[in-house]
Amino acid sequence: MASLTIRKLDEAVKVYLRLRSAGNGRSVEEEVRVILGELVQGRSELSGATPLSAVAHAEAAPSVSASSERSVTLIIGGGIAAFKSLELIRRLKERHIHIRCVLTKAAQQFVTPLSASALSHERVYTDLFNPESEFDAGHIRLARECDLIIVAPATADLMAKMAHGHADDLATAILLAANRPILLAPAMNPLMWNNAATRRNVLQLRRDGIHMIGPNAGEMAESNEAGIGRMSEAVEIAAAAVDILRPPRPRPLAGKRVLITAGPTHEAIDPVRYIANRSSGKQGFAIAAAAQAAGADVTLVSGPVDLRDPPGVTVIRVESARDMLHRVEAALPADIAIFAAAVADWRVANEGEQKLKKTSAGMPQLALVENPDILATISKLKENRPPLVIGFAAETEHLIDNAKAKIARKGCDWIVANDVSPATGVMGGDRNTVHLLTRDGEKINVDSTKVESWPVMTKEQVAAELVAKIAQTMEKNS
Ligand SMILES: Cc1cc2nc3c(=O)[nH]c(=O)nc-3n(C[C@H](O)[C@H](O)[C@H](O)COP(=O)(O)O)c2cc1C
């Protein structure tokens, strides 16, 4: 099997890989593995990603790497996990983070300042009372001329000193003088971690607003013991650092209530059988997550799906179209309603109270009746109609014509139309090709409908694009 040396790659490719891996919170090597995996599966992100020419251009413009470089003061404590902090330096540098290392006296028993210096390409600080380092950086500058302070490993001793405000060496003096966020990666024997004194100190530090990652459960490096106390892996700590360093995301939908439906509905035939469809709920769930990330207060009414609740979203699980309509009505008022669920058009009129049996009289006849039309019902409300109502049109033929007719018939404002023919793999898949149909103000007719066709995207990308469009429209209308 051939091996690949990233150092030897073309500069533009390296920059592309660095930007892409940093964006995804992976190491460069992991990113290369993901790209190769995607290529093999025929779903490479390369076509949709920043082209190499754009990366080369970005590199030529000094603003990209120079001005966006973040800086971390990394304090390495005296624990057996200190060796992992050398790996952490590499992971942070891969993410374009500038690092200055501080080693406690005990840390120097485990790793040398020379290793930390060689990996960080910076001098290393060890002594509070060193006139040279006080002149050069000084404990106050190490505490404040950075965007984040990481302590890894955070020993029981360092956490005790922090919790009680000690400052008797360079590391603790920096931590006490800091006005920057602090991230601790504790590492210690499980008995030390569970000791009442450590528990008190951890609680105090959390109350003081200190970020913490780990420790993880597992075997201890120095003994045969296992339990909670292993320092988080370097990639995990680097990802947590990147999260803290990331500028706060814009929240264009803050203060807006968004109501979303997702998934299929199940229409009972009898107590054990039902009529369903192939909707996975992925698109609706992705929209809920994107709206929540944009700051909205999101309620998601979902039919039966095998998906986890998106964090921060109120999720209401339902079975049938009628349940869904009741829960949607109860969730009003809303500023925006997005009906992404594949609601069954019909249900069984004569739902069996008991399981239907095979009899010699032949097959049971299933009579169907129409289900309530949730999109039309909410679009035509006289009171409490959300100012922006968006429907989905899943079609297998005449997509745009059917979607145009639907927007006029239902009275909604926008329709997201997608082709769900089996060949597209949209139903249940991870990608979607959609067309956004919008109509102007009060005019509800086929001719006033505008159509925007989007390229093939992941369902998350479709969700982000739709939410951005909604935010733009809300801003324009406000
Ligand atoms: C072999 C060895 C391994 C140690 N590992 C840890 C550890 O993983 N976590 C910890 O909190 N202390 C550990 N200690 C104890 C610390 O080194 C000791 O508390 C020291 O004072 C910590 O200093 P510092 O917090 O200033 O770095 C270890 C000590 C030895 C001798």
Could you give the C-alpha distances from 43 to 20, 35, 287, 368, in angstroms and in order? 16, 9, 22, 41
The pLDDT of residue 59 is 33
Which of 200, 225, 245 finishes a domain?
245
pLDDT tens-digit series, residues 246-279: 887 789 999 999 999 999 999 999 999 999 999 9
Residue 116 lies in a domain: yes
Phi first, then psi, for residue 116 (nearest 5°) are -65, -40
Segments forming the whole domain that contains residue 331? 257-346+368-477
Same domain, residue pair 241 and 261: no
What is the whole-number distance in angstroms between the Cα of residue 122 and the centre of ligand 1?
25
Q: Where are the alpha helices (DSSP H) in 25-127?
A: 28-40, 52-60, 68, 82-94, 113-120
Query: Cα separation of 96 and 21, whole Å?
Result: 11
Distance (Å) of CA 203 to CA 68, 161, 181, 401: 34, 14, 17, 61
In a domain, residue 436? The reply is: yes
Centre of ligand 1 from the C-alpha of residue 390, in Å: 59
Q: Examine residue 64 and state whether it is found in any structural domain, yes or no.
A: no
Longest CA–CA span in the chain (Å) reads 100
93 annotated ligand-binding residue: no
Instruction: Residue 147: name the closest of 87, 214, 85, 74 by CA.
Output: 74
Say whether both 199 and 286 belong to one domain: no
Note whether 81 and 209 are same-domain residues. yes
Instruction: Please name the amino acid found at residue 357.
Output: K
Nearest CA to ligand 1 atom 29: 79
User: Beta strands of 280-344 (E only): which ranges?
Assistant: 297-302, 314-317, 336-339
pLDDT of residue 68: 60
Contact (CB, 8 A) for 263 and 221: no
- Domain shared by 318 and 465, yes or no: yes
Q: Whose CA is nearest to atom 10 of ligand 1?
A: 155
Helix (H) or strand (E) holding 416: strand 414-419
Give strand pairing partners of 414.
Answer: 390, 438
Q: Are the C-beta atoms of residues 214 and 181 closer than 8 Å to each other?
A: no
Q: How many C-beta neighbours within 10 Å does residue 60 have? A: 8
Same domain membership, residue 83 and residue 14 = no
Run of H or E residues at 247? none
User: Is 406 labeled as ligand-binding?
Assistant: yes
What Rg, from alpha-carbon coordinates, does the chain have? Answer: 28
Q: Is residue 145 part of a domain?
A: yes
Please tell me the predicted confidence (pLDDT) of residue 51.
Answer: 34
> Per the annotation, does 422 bind a ligand?
no
Contact indicator for 272, 355 with CB cutoff of 8 Å: yes
CATH code where residue 396 lies: 3.40.50.10300
Domain boundary among 181, 211, 245: 245
Give me the pLDDT at residue 22, please.
Answer: 63
301 and 176 belong to one structural domain: no
Q: DSSP assignment, residue 223?
A: S
Catalytic residues: 277
In a domain, 42, yes or no: no
Tell me the mean pLDDT per 10 residues along the chain, length 478.
67 69 68 74 43 34 45 97 96 95 97 96 88 66 91 98 96 94 96 97 96 89 79 95 88 96 96 94 96 96 96 95 98 98 95 86 88 97 96 87 90 91 76 86 61 91 95 89
pLDDT computed for residue 11 by the predictor: 67
Residue of the CA atom closest to atom 13 of ligand 1: 79
| Pocket of ligand 1, beta carbon within 6 A | 77-81, 104, 106-107, 153, 155-158, 187-188, 192, 222
> Do residues 407 and 415 make contact, with C-beta atoms less than 8 angstroms apart?
yes
Domain boundary among 201, 218, 245: 245
The CATH number that applies at residue 85 is 3.40.50.1950
Q: Do 124 and 193 have their domain in common?
A: yes
- Whether residue 293 is found in the same domain as residue 382: yes
Residue 463, Cβ neighbours under 10 Å: how many? 26
- Which of 157, 172, 184, 198 is the pocket-test mutation for ligand 1 (most atoms within 8 Å of CB)? 157
**Domains: count for the chain:** 3
Q: What is the pLDDT of residue 447?
A: 60
CA distances from residue 346 to 139, 286, 304, 367 in whole angstroms, order as listed: 71, 27, 17, 10
List, for residues 140-160, the tens digit of each pLDDT value. Answer: 888 888 999 999 999 999 999
On whether both 105 and 187 belong to a single domain, the answer is yes
CA pair distance 279, 264, nearest whole angstrom: 5
How does 339-371 read in b/e, with b if 16+ C-beta sit within 10 Å? bbbbbbeebbeebbeeebeeeeeeeeeeeeeeb
Query: Do 177 and 273 reside in the same domain of the chain?
Result: no
CA of 25 to the centre of ligand 1 (A): 30
Examine the domain organization and report whether 236 and 282 are in the same domain.
no
**Helix 82-94 × helix 234-245 angle, to 10°:** 50
Burial class (CB in 10 A: 0-12, 13-18, 19+), 195: middle
Nearest ligand 1 atom, CA 76: 27
464 forms beta bridges with none
Integer Cα distance of 80 and 225 in angstroms = 14
- For residue 334, being part of any structural domain is answered with yes
Q: Which residues neighbour 359 within 8 Å (Cβ) at sequence distance 6 or greater?
A: none
Instruction: Tell me what pLDDT residue 223 has.
Output: 65
- Structural domain includes residue 441: yes
Question: What is the pLDDT at residue 197?
Answer: 98
Closest ligand 1 atom number to CA of residue 157: 25
> Does 63 reside within a domain?
no
Same domain, 207 and 320: no
